[in-house]
Amino acid sequence: MNNELAINGGVPIRDTYLSYGKQFIDEKDIEKVVEILKGDYLTTGPNVAEFEKKVAYYVGAKYAVAVSNGTAALHAACYAAGIKEGDEVLVPAITFAASSNCVLYCGGKPIFVDLDPQTYNIDVNKIEEKITARTKAIIPVDFSGQSIDIDKIMEIAKKYNLIVIEDAAHALGSEYKGKKVGTIADMTEFSFHPVKPVTTAEGGVIVTNSKEYYDKMMLFRSHGITRDSELMIENHGPWYYEQIDLGYNYRITDLQCALGISQMDKLDSFIKRRREIVKRYNDAFKELDELKTPFEAEFSNSGWHIYVIVLDLDKLSVGRKEIFEALQKENIGVNVHYLPVYMHPYYQSLGYKKGKCPVAEDLYNRMITIPLFPSMSDYDVESVINGVRKVINHYRK
Ligand SMILES: *Cc1c(COP(=O)(O)O)cnc(C)c1O
């Protein structure tokens, strides 16, 4: 509960604080997890493979590997892509740091590409100018759930012999040209963090149509250890296994996968509700010239992980910070996705310079994420609209 006074010392638009995103867990989910607790497997059990099958089937991919979180999934994909010391990998300037940290884990160098000012996704027209002889891969992100123009990106990748790892952490269930995101890039990663489309608490999945990538990621997930006699140098007997490369313990648990299986059944209904809310927001905010609602390219049908408004600061008497704080005082949970990755102190310490991606830096100064999650009631939605209206009306120039 926020006790600060709202605009003009008045009462907030709503009396309880609404978070910007939230998981939806029902009795079925709880029963599924409790059932596993009473069973034989807590870590790797039959639910892991079943969850993988379910995600692969849902998006229409051949293979899926489930791991402990979305960041581990990206790391596994970078490993499978063979990213190593000296390799350059193109990443959009605005994304969660994990999209680029996974390159650093492998010794590679993230190269940041500016954003398309309409979609806030990687600007496909600025990719080629960043490609050098050292470029190995592209990690485009489906920001907010909107699909990237993956056909165009694959075309560029083919021309320069690059591997594409799609960071679809926001986009499970989103569509590109009428098909679920997840079948076109070489590998596609999904996150199952609680604010993401569906959750396993912590969890990540990479889907691919390549048996080679699949095998590599399965090995990477569990220490680089194999029991496959065709891959082993020796075989001493039934107990025997060999570590044939350096992997990690990135395994996901049966508990988490049981939750994931149960959550997947609800994904389409979650997305349906998210789209309803987005439509309501878009209609309501049309009248406000001081902000821009999301633009969606015609090839994309977003599942809407987040709803981002972009302020027109020329039309407002205060900056983004004041608008953000005023919304908080109305008990509306807001957020900013994200600081351009290279502006983080750690990236600055690696030598990245500010000012390199002007579209991203300008957007960062004007973006606000407002609440969007499937269990929002109609009252919640209307209170957010009224709160945004109230704040914008107050600070209009
Ligand atoms: C959430 C997210 C990830 C993965 O995050 P985890 O918390 O490790 O599951 C990766 N990329 C983006 C863009 C994300 O939003």
Cβ of 167 below 6 Å from ligand 1: yes
Cβ of 165 below 6 Å from ligand 1: no
Q: What are phi and psi of 127, to 5 degrees?
A: -75, -50
Domains, the chain: 27-264 (3.40.640.10), 267-394 (3.90.1150.10)
Burial class (CB in 10 A: 0-12, 13-18, 19+), 347: buried
Which pLDDT score is estimated for 257? 98
Which pLDDT score is estimated for 6? 80
Alpha carbon of 99 to ligand 1 centroid (Å): 7
Cβ of 183 below 6 Å from ligand 1: no
CA-derived radius of gyration, the chain: 22
Cβ of 166 below 6 Å from ligand 1: no
Which atom of ligand 1 sits closest to the CA of residue 95? 13
Which pLDDT score is estimated for 5? 67
Least Cα distance to 153 among 120, 186, 109, 107 occurs for 186
Q: What are phi and psi of 11, to 5 degrees?
A: -80, 140
Half-sphere exposure of 44 (CA within 13 A, CB side): 11
pLDDT one digit per residue (tens) for the chain, 397 residues: 444 568 777 899 999 999 999 999 999 999 999 999 999 999 999 999 999 999 999 999 999 999 999 999 999 999 999 999 999 999 999 999 999 999 999 999 999 999 999 999 999 999 999 999 999 999 999 999 999 999 999 999 999 999 999 999 999 999 999 999 999 999 999 999 999 999 999 999 999 999 999 999 999 999 999 999 999 999 999 999 999 999 999 999 999 999 999 999 999 999 999 999 999 999 999 999 999 999 999 999 999 999 999 999 999 999 999 999 999 999 999 999 999 999 999 999 999 999 999 999 999 999 999 999 999 999 999 999 999 999 999 999 9
Cβ of 69 below 6 Å from ligand 1: yes
Contacts of 349 (CB under 8 A, 6+ apart): none
- Other Cβ atoms within 10 Å of 215 Cβ, number: 16
Cβ of 141 below 6 Å from ligand 1: yes
What kind and span of H or E run contains 301? strand 300-301
